[in-house]
Structure 1
Amino acid sequence: MLEIKNVSVEFKNQKVLNNLNLSIEEGCILGILGRNGAGKTTLFESVYQSLPFSGNITWKNERLQRKQISYLETENYFYPYITGEEYLSYFSSKKENEIREIIGKFNLPLEKYVQYYSSGMKKKLALVGMLMLNKPINILDEPFNGVDFEGVHLLYDIIRQLKSENKVVIISSHIIETLFHTCDKIVLLQNGSIQTIYNKEDFSQLDTLRF
């Protein structure tokens, strides 16, 4: 289990996360909802150990380490003069056949420089790299942004595959319907803490929320 206990983050004397607590079971797909500035990305970066925070984050009762996490950020940076194939060569995978199948479905021009990719293609390339890391905890910050209709449905399949492998997946999205399709639970982040946890049978209550 991934456990986030009393996590607080402060910027310029203003608390962004305020004694946040959250427990996520293995094999759980958890959606994070919140308005802009609610602290979603700060929460992800705290879990990823990329900024200082107070509190504790543990995985299977031991201190969480960055090497246990794959993180797909909202905006992904690539060196412009690197091909898709060269980018993926930096990653290793224990499930090469599955990755090749995903690459084939995404139809990425791996021989081309990444600077000529659309934003959706860059998102797909970053996603493949993340999957190749094969980590137990996977964070996806707005993964559906800029992805076409076909790519959205491939993302659904990939997220379900991660669940079948008993991995933890944490997703944020402004498109509530994408969370309905993928998540086991959705939490509402407000004022730096988790206000409400919705199970699948409660998702209809989220229709009234606007983000």
Structure 2
Amino acid sequence: LVDGYTKSYGGQTVVGPLSLRVEAGTIYGFIGPNGAGKTTLIRSIVGATAATAGSISICGIDNAENPIACKRMTAYVPDNPDVYGFLTGAQYLTFIADIFEVDATVRARRIERYARLFGIEQRLGELVSSYSHGMRQKLVLTGALLHDPRLLVLDEPFVGLDPQAAYRLKGVMKELVSRGAAIFFSSHVLEVVEKLCDEVAIIENGRIVKSGRTDDVCGSEGLERVFLDVAGAREEKAAADRAGR
């Protein structure tokens, strides 16, 4: 639950105020142009940056008051999977499993399953520094799934993934929500958002301009058309502002 969230830098509000709710058992898509505020909100949801005003809670727990409890229920895959290059893939996954105190038997089973699913099982003995962007993305995704999160937060998760890995990730996302987890993710791949998400929100200049059930937001036009209409309205306003100076 994001309630009245605002983020400011140097006294200037860059995101918000905005509110949204991601229900258990749903996939929530979060889309908008570059610089609209998607990553800023995502980083606050996962506790990487504090909100200037408003609140964020996960499963009823305020992440400002009890950040550790919230982090234990959350997994985060950033848009740029920069991980420790001096570790091997296996060492990285062990490190993540240790942080979340995943049982040894459970972690071994999940590492085997997800590493095989994403096609990195043969590369886990190699240094992460030798991995391609796509390989690092698959490694971070594998690590994010080890503690069976209640909330999975993904920032542009399909960037760098080959078609097979992208297809398998979508399957994992559906499986997680079928077990009651919630997924909040941003993406520029609007076709995927439209097909995969139960709900969607469009953010523009730090404000949510359209949100709701995906079918309702898309209407008969489709998400791409709705998104382009929002972008067109922004450009028209910017042109009018310039003309009025």
Instruction: Report what 1:206 is aligned to.
Output: 223
Matches within 5 A, 1:1-211: 3-53=1-51, 54-64=53-63, 65-92=70-97, 93=102, 95-96=106-107, 97-108=109-120, 109-202=123-216, 203=218, 204-208=221-225, 209-210=227-228
Q: Which amino acid aligns with 1:160?
A: K
Quick check: 90-99 or 33-42, which moved more? 90-99
Q: Secondary structure at 2:85's aligned position in 1?
A: coil
**Contact conserved, 1:21 with 1:193, CA < 8 A, in 2?**
no
CA separation in 2, counterparts of 1:126 and 1:61? Answer: 27
Quick check: 55-64 or 65-74, which moved more? 55-64
**Contact conserved, 1:72 with 1:143, CA < 8 A, in 2?**
yes
CA separation in 1, counterparts of 2:84 and 2:110? Answer: 26
Q: Which amino acid aligns with 1:12?
A: G
Q: Secondary structure at 1:50's aligned position in 2?
A: coil
CA separation in 2, counterparts of 1:63 and 1:198? Answer: 24
Higher relative contact order (CA closer than 8 Å, sequence separation 6+)? 1
CA separation in 2, counterparts of 1:68 and 1:30? Answer: 17
CA separation in 1, counterparts of 2:37 and 2:204? Answer: 8
Q: CA deviation at 1:90?
A: 1.4
Q: Secondary structure at 2:17's aligned position in 1?
A: strand
Q: CA deviation at 1:61?
A: 3.2
Provide TM-score, normalisation by structure 1. 0.91
**Contact conserved, 2:25 with 2:180, CA < 8 A, in 1?**
yes
Structure 2: which 5+ runs fail to align? 64-69, 232-245
Instruction: Count residues in correspondence.
Output: 209
Q: CA deviation at 1:158?
A: 1.0
CA separation in 1, counterparts of 2:199 and 2:179? Answer: 18
Q: Return closer, same or farther for 1:29/1:129 CA change in 2, 3 Å cut-off.
A: same
CA separation in 2, counterparts of 1:59 and 1:80? Answer: 31
Q: CA deviation at 1:81?
A: 2.3
Deviations 1:64-87 (A, max 9, x none): 333322110011222222111111
Q: CA deviation at 1:98?
A: 4.6
CA separation in 2, counterparts of 1:46 and 1:142? Answer: 16
Structure number having the greater strand percentage: 1
Deviations 1:136-194 (A, max 9, x none): 11100000001111111011111111111211100100111121232111111122122
Q: Secondary structure at 2:161's aligned position in 1?
A: coil
CA separation in 1, counterparts of 2:58 and 2:113? Answer: 30
Q: Which amino acid aligns with 1:26?
A: A
Q: Return closer, same or farther for 1:106/1:185 CA change in 2, 3 Å cut-off.
A: same
Provide TM-score, normalisation by structure 2. 0.79
Quick check: 100-109 or 139-148, which moved more? 100-109
Structure number having the greater helix percentage: 2
Q: CA deviation at 1:116?
A: 1.3
